[in-house]
Chain A
Amino acid sequence: MMGNTMSLVSAALKEGRVAPTELCQRCLSLIKSTKFLNAYITVAEETALKQAEESEKRYRRGQPLGVLDGIPIAVKDNFNTAGIETTCASNMLKGYISPYNATVVQKLLDQGAVLLGKTNLDEFAMGSGSTDGVFGPVRNPWSYSRQYKEKSVPKSHSEDKDSNWVITGGSSGGSAAAVSSFTCFAALGSDTGGSTRNPAAHCGVVGLKPTYGLISRHGLIPLVNSMDVPGILTRCVDDAAVVLGSLAGHDPKDSTTIQDNFKLFELPNLTDVSKLSIGIPKEYHAPGLSSEILALWSKAADLFKNAGAKVIEVSLPHTRYSIVCYHVLCTAEVASNMARFDGLEYGHRSDMNKSTESMYAATRREGFNAVVRGRILSGNYFLLKQNYENYFIKAQKVRRLIANDFVKVFGSGVDILLTPTTLSDAVPYTEFIKEDNRTRSAQDDILTQAANMAGLPAINVPTALSERGLPVGLQFIGRSFQEKQLLTVAKWFEKQVKFPTIQLEEVKRHDHGVFQHQKSASFL
């Protein structure tokens, strides 16, 4: 039951095979027994159970609110949740309880979803490992899977068995780990440079970054307003489509959401891909791309080709400037967005009271980690009058060029782009922290980041296990607001690759049913 997709569980709820409270309790106990993953910052046990009870009443009356009613979900801890702490994994907001719900949170609650808790992340979503938050790093559930354990041989006896655990990727690592370890059926992440797709790839789950403007950002504590999009993490593409349908549409509280009504869709089962044109952008053959992933990528391209689709190599020439351009735009907005954290209205306030200015300085020094402070510093540098033209304006122009590359490629008849999501499978934590956050982010965002620049929808589909028994995903990038097409293709691909289910000892103890649906054939 716990490893099932949301759609199956929804059916079980509807048919009364499982009650919302029972489902919620199972999730809560699974959260407890997987606490070592550090996926959650706050578990809202009490309110979750209350919500589950309400849901149960609705089911008993035969009036559930829809497919999400009674479904346990988790939300990244940078979305505001009324009455539940919202920390952004930062000292600055430790203990901060927001008086309002983010629009996306409200929409999920309005449709009966049960909010289990808030998931871990890099501080203020700045990172690609989910290792740089004040609550410690998130551990990838696959580190504890049978698949990984069988394949990874400890290098030496002296090494602790536990030291081999791998990172989730980030910054929505908590949400990815939560979905991957079966503690919830869907989770919200946020995606500014790949923060939903990257951990989805490392944790073997579906990670959707919708088109900018399709989903409200109201209540999402911003990283880069012009690129942030709430992300959706689920176990399958169909579930992502369901969650997307429940969140998408205009929000009067977010002026950057589209005015047009979003039309709900159900994903068709594609049988014929011969009319599809799949673009393979050559620039995504990036330095550092592991041979394993490269092989997987071309195998996936062949899969489409063999099924009759047109597969062509395309070029996005400005993509290589994406990272440096992102660095300027991101830090500039960060510098601006973080200005509000001054200790006056909310959040941490230093005891320093010599003057207002010294209180600001101490508050911000104590409240933010080095990564956040570093980005604030660079951002303010780029925004200085003397630098604005040379950095910010130039970066904006480059951003336009990057976006135009996509417009040209899609204009040439390509329907969907197929790329890797990450350069390699997840690396062990000990390995990951050898590099600093900035270097890591620059490397890891390289394949995901251009989609944010252009505002395009993109999705990670878990594809196969690496030689080390860890998940590897591929990314599909679609046209603006063409989520239906994107997800339809992703669903077809998902069906072909038959990604294996994680085999977790922890989960096994809680739910014997999990392995009944185990898939035997896998892509690699």
Chain B
Amino acid sequence: MAAAAARGCGGVWRRAWQRGAGGPAPRGQRALACNVRAGAVPAGKSGLAPWVPVVGLEIHAQISSNSKLFSGSQVQFAAPPNSLVSFFDASLPGTLPVLNRRCVEAAVMTGLALNCSINKKSLFDRKHYFYADLPAGYQITQQRVPIAVNGSLSYSLCIDNKMSQMVTKTVRIKQIQLEQDSGKSLHDDTRSQTLVDLNRAGVGLMEVVMEPDMCCGEEAAAAVRELQLILQTLGSSQAVMAEGQLRVDANVSVHHPGEPYGVRTEVKNINSIRFLAKAVDYEIQRQIEELESGRTILNETRTFDSKLGCTVPMRDKEEKQDYRFMPEPNLPPLILYDAKSLPANMNHQQVVNIDWIHERLPDLPSVKRAKLVEQYGILPEHSFTLLNEDGLTEFFEDVIKQTQMKPKKVIGWILKDLLSYLKQYSLTVKESPVSSFLLADLLNHLEKKEISSTAAKQVFAELWKGEGKTPLEIIKEKKLQLIQDQKDLEQICQAVIDGQENEVMAIKAGNRKVLNKLIGLVQRETRGRSNPVLVKQLLEKKLSE
């Protein structure tokens, strides 16, 4: 039995490598880049050279657009079957494609955000295959000259799940192409019939092809997560994987350093980022085991079974396909302009002007993170967490606007308290029962030293119940205000001192640590309503008397 289930990038390949030839790992290999901490790799049993996994991704992102790529039909998730189908979508004879400008702009935005060069002239092609949910018998795509090429995507990931150890990597983007989505086939095996829903047929897709620059599931997952954030920031795709707006196919192979790439498999049907990491790691491990057992890897399509946590070969109905690509004769070349080539009498509404779009790109996640770090003095890893949760950055910034508390302190409340409650109850930021206003209100009470932070946590827990009470009401109801009357507090302190002779002796003998116990006792006596700093001062004063 080979290495156990994959846990993180470092984990898997170290295990895999452990069975390798040993000695220092070869420098400059991809695996090294991945296995950041893998310096020297211990010798393995099999005596084989180490394995270098290679992972490339093909990502289909559904363009967020009111209408389809080549027809006026509406785009909407979960509409009644076949309710969003134009004559063209159903491939009625004689209908012709008319390119949707919004889809072109979305692809240009995405291309620019991924540092691609945008082709001023791109072409459309037909890709032929017979399938029930492909009414025309071909898909219109961009095989020869896609709209954007040669880009890159930087993404960060943490080592061994430690937020404090983040590394940034880059994957090259080969191209982005515009193409049509297919419909959906629903196979009813018991009645041996297939039902076809064409609502999705013809919806605009951007296919983002990532070069095989990754080497483990976690890298693939981090790259896709960053892409997802970018798409969502741009608004070019809603990129919700669960709704099929972002579909990821992974190409996986393994080889020995210095040797050509191995035979690759394609893993499909990965419907969450978590499963992507699992699927890729499983597939790498499977290939290594196959090869080490003397078997070969087939160039095949596999599907990820999320329940079993493994990849299985897809029943390949259609062997090797020849797609018989052909230029789409009904669409002239797609011509884009920039400020230089823009004809004098045209404006950005008549043609697509790349520069015009470039100037209006929103801040990308990487820029947003840098700004958060700089503006609020928070840690870089905190900025990642803020952006990773939809709406959390806005929540954080809203709280900051409404409170005098320093952002560095606010971030703790956001990440430790709010976020863990959200996770615990599986809620999104939007669904949080504690609004940014309430949290800010609570933090203001804390900041004004009206309550202790222990009490603040209690108030937060009460607020979470969503009973419509304000923090002040809860504070009053639960009598959580700090004891403002110093005489009262002095009396309590005196009572504690009087009751703890041994401890007092110890302190007086020089054991200052014991003082904390007394502070704790005072806190208990006041049920958290005393200011620990003040209590400490009072106790020290009384003990030195």
Q: Chain B: interface secondary structure?
A: loop
Residues of B within 8 A of A86 (CB): 93
> Does residue A65 face the partner (Cβ distance < 8 Å to B)?
no
Does the CB pair B98–A253 fall under 8 Å? yes
One of B94, B196, B325 near A218 (C-beta < 8 A): B94
Give the docked Cα–Cα distance between A380 and B138 (Å): 13
> Does residue B99 face the partner (Cβ distance < 8 Å to A)?
yes
Give the docked Cα–Cα distance between A338 and B126 (Å): 13
> Does residue A255 face the partner (Cβ distance < 8 Å to B)?
yes
> Does residue A217 face the partner (Cβ distance < 8 Å to B)?
yes
Residues of A within 8 A of B322 (CB): 384-385
Residues of B within 8 A of A384 (CB): 322, 324
> Does residue A80 face the partner (Cβ distance < 8 Å to B)?
yes
B67-98, CB under 8 A of A: which get 1 and which 0?
Answer: 00000000000000000000100111111111
Does the CB pair A336–B128 fall under 8 Å? yes
**What residue of chain B has the Cβ atom nearest to residue A224's Cβ?**
B329
Does the CB pair B95–A345 fall under 8 Å? no
How far, in Å, is B327 (CB) from chain A's closest CB? Answer: 8
Assuming the A-B contacts A340-B135, A360-B130, are A333 and B329 also in contact, with contact meaning beta carbons closer than 8 angstroms in the complex?
A: yes
Residues of A within 8 A of B92 (CB): 80, 98-100, 345-346
Does the CB pair A221–B93 fall under 8 Å? yes
**What residue of chain B has the Cβ atom nearest to residue A93's Cβ?**
B93
> Does residue A236 face the partner (Cβ distance < 8 Å to B)?
no
One of A256, A333, A338, A345 near B332 (C-beta < 8 A): A256
One of B87, B126, B135, B332 near A100 (C-beta < 8 A): B87
Residues of A within 8 A of B91 (CB): 340, 345
Does the CB pair B330–A225 fall under 8 Å? yes
Residues of B within 8 A of A332 (CB): 326
Does the CB pair B135–A219 fall under 8 Å? no
One of A79, A256, A342 near B330 (C-beta < 8 A): A256
Give the docked Cα–Cα distance between A99 and B88 (Å): 12
**Looking at chain B, what size class is its interface with the partner chain?**
20 to 34
Interface residues of B in 156-209 (CB under 8 A from A): 194, 196
> Does residue B240 face the partner (Cβ distance < 8 Å to A)?
no
One of B93, B126, B196, B332 near A255 (C-beta < 8 A): B332
Residues of B within 8 A of A100 (CB): 87, 92
Assuming the A-B contacts A255-B96, A333-B329, are A339 and B90 also in contact, with contact meaning beta carbons closer than 8 angstroms in the complex?
A: no
Assuming the A-B contacts A99-B92, A222-B94, A392-B326, are A344 and B135 also in contact, with contact meaning beta carbons closer than 8 angstroms in the complex?
A: yes
Assuming the A-B contacts A339-B130, A339-B137, are A255 and B326 also in contact, with contact meaning beta carbons closer than 8 angstroms in the complex?
A: no
How far, in Å, is B98 (CB) from chain A's closest CB? Answer: 6
Give the docked Cα–Cα distance between A380 and B324 (Å): 7
Most chain B beta-carbon neighbours within 10 Å: one of A220, A346, A356: A356
Does the CB pair B329–A225 fall under 8 Å? yes
**What residue of chain A has the Cβ atom nearest to residue B194's Cβ?**
A356
> Does residue B3 face the partner (Cβ distance < 8 Å to A)?
no
Interface residues of B in 134-150 (CB under 8 A from A): 135-138
**Looking at chain A, what size class is its interface with the partner chain?**
35 or more
> Does residue A431 face the partner (Cβ distance < 8 Å to B)?
no
> Does residue B373 face the partner (Cβ distance < 8 Å to A)?
no
How far, in Å, is A311 (CB) from chain B's closest CB? Answer: 36
Does the CB pair A218–B87 fall under 8 Å? no
Does the CB pair A344–B196 fall under 8 Å? yes
Residues of A within 8 A of B332 (CB): 255-256
Does the CB pair B95–A218 fall under 8 Å? yes
Residues of A within 8 A of B97 (CB): 255
Interface residues of A in 172-199 (CB under 8 A from B): none
> Does residue B331 face the partner (Cβ distance < 8 Å to A)?
yes
How far, in Å, is B373 (CB) from chain A's closest CB? Answer: 48
> Does residue A321 face the partner (Cβ distance < 8 Å to B)?
no
A252-275, CB under 8 A of B: which get 1 and which 0?
Answer: 111110000000000000000000
How far, in Å, is A271 (CB) from chain B's closest CB? Answer: 40
> Does residue A293 face the partner (Cβ distance < 8 Å to B)?
no
How far, in Å, is B481 (CB) from chain A's closest CB? Answer: 70
Residues of A within 8 A of B138 (CB): 336, 339
> Does residue B153 face the partner (Cβ distance < 8 Å to A)?
no
> Does residue A244 face the partner (Cβ distance < 8 Å to B)?
no
Residues of B within 8 A of A253 (CB): 96, 98
Give the docked Cα–Cα distance between A275 and B136 (Å): 51
Does the CB pair B137–A340 fall under 8 Å? yes
> Does residue B132 face the partner (Cβ distance < 8 Å to A)?
yes
Interface residues of A in 220-234 (CB under 8 A from B): 220-222, 224-226
Residues of B within 8 A of A356 (CB): 132, 194
**What residue of chain A has the Cβ atom nearest to residue B91's Cβ?**
A340
Does the CB pair B94–A252 fall under 8 Å? no
Assuming the A-B contacts A99-B87, A255-B332, A383-B324, are A80 and B93 also in contact, with contact meaning beta carbons closer than 8 angstroms in the complex?
A: yes
> Does residue A292 face the partner (Cβ distance < 8 Å to B)?
no
One of B95, B99, B194, B326 near A333 (C-beta < 8 A): B326
A422-450, CB under 8 A of B: which get 1 and which 0?
Answer: 00000000000000000000000000000
Give the docked Cα–Cα distance between A155 and B270 (Å): 76
A84-99, CB under 8 A of B: which get 1 and which 0?
Answer: 0010100001000011
Give the docked Cα–Cα distance between A344 and B93 (Å): 13
> Does residue A102 face the partner (Cβ distance < 8 Å to B)?
yes
Give the docked Cα–Cα distance between A226 and B99 (Å): 17
Give the docked Cα–Cα distance between A135 and B98 (Å): 34
> Does residue A313 face the partner (Cβ distance < 8 Å to B)?
no
B83-121, CB under 8 A of A: which get 1 and which 0?
Answer: 000010011111111110000000000000000000000
> Does residue A302 face the partner (Cβ distance < 8 Å to B)?
no
How far, in Å, is A494 (CB) from chain B's closest CB? Answer: 33
How far, in Å, is B126 (CB) from chain A's closest CB? Answer: 6
How far, in Å, is A334 (CB) from chain B's closest CB? Answer: 11
> Does residue A467 face the partner (Cβ distance < 8 Å to B)?
no
Task: Mark A residues whose CB is within 8 Å of B.
Answer: 79-80, 86, 88, 93, 98-100, 102, 217-222, 224-226, 252-256, 332-333, 335-336, 338-342, 344-346, 356-357, 360, 380, 383-385, 388, 392
Q: A218-B94, A356-B194, A384-B324 are in contact. List 8 more A-B contacts (CB 8 A).
A: A88-B93, A99-B87, A99-B92, A220-B94, A254-B330, A336-B324, A339-B136, A340-B93
Closest 7 CB pairs between A and B?
A339-B137, A383-B324, A225-B329, A226-B329, A340-B91, A221-B93, A219-B94
Task: Mark B residues whose CB is within 8 Å of A.
Answer: 87, 90-99, 126, 128, 130, 132, 135-138, 194, 196, 322, 324-326, 329-332
**Could you list some 21 contacts between A and B, CB below 8 A?**
A79-B94, A80-B94, A219-B94, A219-B95, A220-B94, A221-B94, A253-B96, A254-B96, A255-B99, A255-B330, A336-B128, A336-B324, A336-B326, A339-B130, A339-B138, A341-B93, A344-B132, A344-B135, A357-B130, A385-B322, A388-B325
